[in-house]
Structure 1
Amino acid sequence: MSNETSASETTPLRRPDNQTPDHNVAQSNQTSVNNDHSSNNNNYGDSVQVRLQEQDRNSDSEQQQRTATMDTNKRILCRVGLDVLILLCAGFPILLFFLLGEPYKRGFFCDDESLKHPFHDSTVRNWMLYFIGAVIPVGVILIVEVIISQNKAKQDNGNSSSRRYVFMNYELPDWMIECYKKVGIYAFGAVLSQLTTDIAKYSIGRLRPHFIAVCQPQMPDGTTCADAINAGKYIQEFTCKGVGSSARMLKEMRLSFPSGHSSFTFFAMVYLALYLQARMTWRGSKLLRHLLQFLFIMVAWYTALSRVSDYKHHWSDVLAGSLIGSICALVVSYGLPISWFNFQTVWPAKSKAK
C-alpha cells in the first residue's frame, strides 16, 4: 500500500517527459516563424533598397548620357557651323567683287580687230550655268552615295561593324555622311575657283571682243574710232556713250580674262569625273562610267567654246579659265579629303556589336 500510495502521490507531481520537447518545438517553431518573418522583412527592405539604388544609378546614367549627348550635339553644330562660316568667308570677296569691284581700266587701239565683234546673248545662260555647276554635281553625288549605301547594307546583311553616327538621337545614314563630305569639298573648291578667276578678272581688266559695240568710246576731243585721226593710236582717255547698254554690261566689258563660265564648268565637270572614277564601282559595265565622264567633260568643253563663238571672250581667256577650273578640281579632289572634317573622331558613334 505504501508503494501504491507513494506512486499515486508522485505520479501527478511528475511532468511527463514528452511535454518538454513539444514545448520546445513550439517555441522553436515560433522562433523560426518570427525569424522568417523578420528575414522576409529584411529581404524586402534589402530588395527595396537595391531597387532604389538601381533607379538612382539608372537616373545618374541617363543624366550623364543626356549631358554627354547635349555636349556632343553642341560640338557637332559648332563644327558644321565652322565649315559653313569658312565657306562664307571664302565666298564673301566674290560678292564684294560683284557689287563694289572696279576692274582695271586699260586702253585700246581703235583698229584692233579683236575688239570690233558684235554683241550677242550667251548661248549658255546663267540658269544653265547654275544647273551645270550645282544641280548636276549634287544630284550625281546623291544618287551614287545612296546606291553605294544600299549595296553595302545588302552585303553586310545587318551585321555591319562600321561606326554609326548619331545626332540629336537620330542615327545618320552613311550616304548622308558621305554626301556632306563630298558636296562640302565641291562647294569649297568651286568658291576658290571662282575667287581665283575674279581676282584675275579685276586685276587685268582685259576688254571683251564686243568692247567697241558695247562701249561706243568717245575721246575727250569728241572724236570716235570712226575718225581717221584715232587710227593706230593707243587710247587711254575716253568715255563710253553706251547707247543701249546697261551699267552691268559696261562693267562686264572689262572682265574678259579669264573666262568665268569656262573655269566654273570645267571645275564642276572635272571634279565630277574624278568623283565617278573614285566612287562609281558598278560591275555591270566598265564603259558606263567612262561614258558619263566623257559627257560631263564635253558639257564643259561646249560651254567654253560657246564663249568664243558668242564673242564674250578671246580664245586665250577660255583656255586660261579652263585650266584654272581643272587645276582647282585636281587640287581639291586629291588634297582636301586628307584634312577634311573627320567624322570618325568628331561625330558621336553608336557602334553595333560585331
Structure 2
Amino acid sequence: MAWRNLVSRFSLQNFRALFQQDGRMREVDLGAHTIRSHGAKVARNHMHDWLILLLLVVTEIVLYIIHPFYRFVGKDMMEDLKYPFKDNTVPTWSVPLYAVLLPIAIFIFFYIRRKDVYDLHHSILGLLFSVLITAVITDAIKNAVGRPRPDFFWRCFPDGKEFYDQWGDVICHGKESDIREGHKSFPSGHTSWSFAGLGFLSLYLSGKIKAFDHRGHVAKLCIIFLPLLAAALVGISRVDDYWHHWQDVFVGAILGLVVSAFCYMQFFPPPYSEEGWGPYAYFQALEESHSNTNAGQTANALNMQAMDVEVVSLQLRQNGNEFTSLDELESGRR
C-alpha cells in the first residue's frame, strides 16, 4: 500500500539521520576536549589543587632558607668525612629542566596528537605535586636530621686546620653557606627530585604506549626504563661527587618513586589496566557526553516519529484516502 511505503521511507530516513547524528556526536566527544573548549572548566574544577601547589612552593622556600640541625661531629667521626670538596656533576639548576620541563614537553606532545585537555592538565598537575611533595619531604628530613656530607671536613676546615670545643665538637671556620649545606646530606635532594619527576614520566609513558598489554613487546619496557635509568645515574653522580653517602641516594630514590606513584594514581588508572592510557576525568567526561547524547537521541526519535505520523496522515488526506482518524490509521480499518 502507498501509506506503508511512505512510512518505510520516512523510517529509513530517520534511521540514517540518527546514525549520522550519533557519528557526529562521537567525533565531538573524542575531539572536543581542547584547551579552548574545556580548559577554563578544568582549571576551575581544580582551583583548590593549584592553591595547594602554591602553598607547597612557599613551604619549600622556607625549608630551603632555614638552618638545618647542626649535629655533633667529633674528631673520630671526621675520618669518614674527609672526601674532596668537588663541584656538582649535575648542577642544581639543571634538575628542574630534566625533572619538570622535559616531562611537560612530552605531555604537550601527546596533547597535540590527541587534543585531550584532561590528559594535559592532570599530567602537569600530577607531576608538579609529585616533585613539590617530594621536595618538601626531602628538605624537611634534611633539616631535621642534619647529617654531615662526605666532604664535610673541607667545608668546615677549608685550610685543613682542625678546631674542637671542650666536648669534642667541631668549631668550623669555613664559609657559612658551605657549612650549612654540609649538614644536608640525608636524603639526597637531586635523587629524590629526579625519581619524582622522571618516575612520574615513566608511569605516564607506560600507560600511553600500553607497555603492559600482554603482547610481549620488550621494546616498550626499554622506553619506560630510560627515564628511571637517567634518574639512577643522577643519584650515582651524587656519590661520585662526594656530596652524599650511598644511603642518602637510596632513600631519596625510594622517596621519589613512592610519591610519584601515589600522585600518578590520583589522576590516572594503573598502567597495566585497559584504560591506563587516559586519565580518570577523560572517561568520566565521555560517560557524561554519552548520557546526554542518548537522552537527546531518544527525544529526537520521539519527535521524528510524531512528525512521520503527521506527514503520512497529511499525505493520505491529500490523496483522498478514506482514513479519517489516527486510530483507523494504526488499526488498518477503513
1:152 corresponds in structure 2 to none
Judge which range, 267-276 or 254-263, deviates more. Answer: 267-276
Shift of 1:88: 0.7
Which secondary structure state, in structure 2, belongs to the residue aligned with residue 196 of structure 1? helix
Sort the Cα spacing of 1:76 and 1:140 in 2 relative to 1 into closer, same or farther, 3 A. closer
Shift of 1:133: 0.6
Sort the Cα spacing of 1:271 and 1:107 in 2 relative to 1 into closer, same or farther, 3 A. same
Q: RMSD of the TM alignment (CA)?
A: 3.4
| Structure 2 unpaired stretches of 5+ | 1-37, 270-278, 298-334
The equivalent position to 2:57 in structure 1, one of 91, 111, 116, is 91
The equivalent position to 2:258 in structure 1, one of 314, 327, 341, is 327
Shift of 1:341: 8.8
2:129 corresponds in structure 1 to 188
- The correspondence of residues 244-323 of structure 1 with structure 2, limited to 5 A, is 245=175, 247-281=176-210, 286-323=217-254
* Identical columns (%): 25
TM-score of the pair, normalised by structure 2: 0.63
- For 1:212, the aligned partner's letter is F
- For 1:274, the aligned partner's letter is L
Q: In structure 1, how many angstroms separate the alpha carbons of the residues matched to 2:105 and 2:223?
A: 14
Q: Indicate conservation of the 8 Å contact 1:272/1:296, yes or no.
A: yes
- For 2:221, the aligned partner's letter is H
- For 2:156, the aligned partner's letter is C
- For 2:172, the aligned partner's letter is C
Q: Indicate conservation of the 8 Å contact 1:269/1:296, yes or no.
A: yes
User: For residues 285-335 of structure 1, what are the alpha-carbon distances to aligned partners after superposition, in whole Å with 9 as ceiling and x for unaligned?
Assistant: 934432222221111111000000101001111111111011111222224
Q: Indicate conservation of the 8 Å contact 2:148/2:185, yes or no.
A: yes
Q: In structure 1, how many angstroms separate the alpha carbons of the residues matched to 2:263 and 2:49?
A: 15
2:162 corresponds in structure 1 to 225
Q: In structure 1, how many angstroms separate the alpha carbons of the residues matched to 2:182 and 2:162?
A: 17
Q: Bigger radius of gyration, 1 or 2?
A: 1
Q: In structure 2, how many angstroms separate the alpha carbons of the residues matched to 1:307 and 1:319?
A: 11
Sort the Cα spacing of 1:276 and 1:80 in 2 relative to 1 into closer, same or farther, 3 A. same
Q: In structure 2, how many angstroms separate the alpha carbons of the residues matched to 1:183 and 1:301?
A: 22
Q: In structure 2, how many angstroms separate the alpha carbons of the residues matched to 1:286 and 1:98?
A: 44
- The correspondence of residues 1-354 of structure 1 with structure 2, limited to 5 A, is 78-99=44-65, 101-111=66-76, 112-147=78-113, 149=114, 173-174=115-116, 176-216=117-157, 225=162, 235-236=168-169, 238-242=170-174, 245=175, 247-281=176-210, 286-337=217-268, 342=281, 344=284
Shift of 1:258: 0.2
Q: Indicate conservation of the 8 Å contact 1:115/1:207, yes or no.
A: yes
Sort the Cα spacing of 1:107 and 1:316 in 2 relative to 1 into closer, same or farther, 3 A. same
User: For residues 39-80 of structure 1, what are the alpha-carbon distances to aligned partners after superposition, in whole Å with 9 as ceiling and x for unaligned?
Assistant: xxxxxxxxxxxxxxxxxxxxxxxxxxxxxxxxx998766434
Q: In structure 1, how many angstroms separate the alpha carbons of the residues matched to 2:220 and 2:147?
A: 39
Sort the Cα spacing of 1:105 and 1:313 in 2 relative to 1 into closer, same or farther, 3 A. same
Shift of 1:113: 2.1
Which secondary structure state, in structure 2, belongs to the residue aligned with residue 120 of structure 1? coil
Q: Indicate conservation of the 8 Å contact 2:130/2:200, yes or no.
A: no
Q: In structure 2, how many angstroms separate the alpha carbons of the residues matched to 1:143 and 1:235?
A: 58
Which secondary structure state, in structure 2, belongs to the residue aligned with residue 297 of structure 1? helix
Q: In structure 2, how many angstroms separate the alpha carbons of the residues matched to 1:337 and 1:131?
A: 24
How many equivalent pairs are there? Answer: 242
Q: In structure 2, how many angstroms separate the alpha carbons of the residues matched to 1:88 and 1:302?
A: 30
User: For residues 99-119 of structure 1, what are the alpha-carbon distances to aligned partners after superposition, in whole Å with 9 as ceiling and x for unaligned?
Assistant: 2x1211111122332211111
TM-score of the pair, normalised by structure 1: 0.60
Q: Indicate conservation of the 8 Å contact 1:205/1:255, yes or no.
A: yes
Q: In structure 1, how many angstroms separate the alpha carbons of the residues matched to 2:104 and 2:40?
A: 27
- For 1:295, the aligned partner's letter is L
| Structure 1 unpaired stretches of 5+ | 1-71, 150-172
- For 1:257, the aligned partner's letter is F
Sort the Cα spacing of 1:341 and 1:248 in 2 relative to 1 into closer, same or farther, 3 A. farther
Q: Indicate conservation of the 8 Å contact 1:145/1:179, yes or no.
A: yes
Q: In structure 2, how many angstroms separate the alpha carbons of the residues matched to 1:125 and 1:96?
A: 21
Q: In structure 2, how many angstroms separate the alpha carbons of the residues matched to 1:73 and 1:318?
A: 39
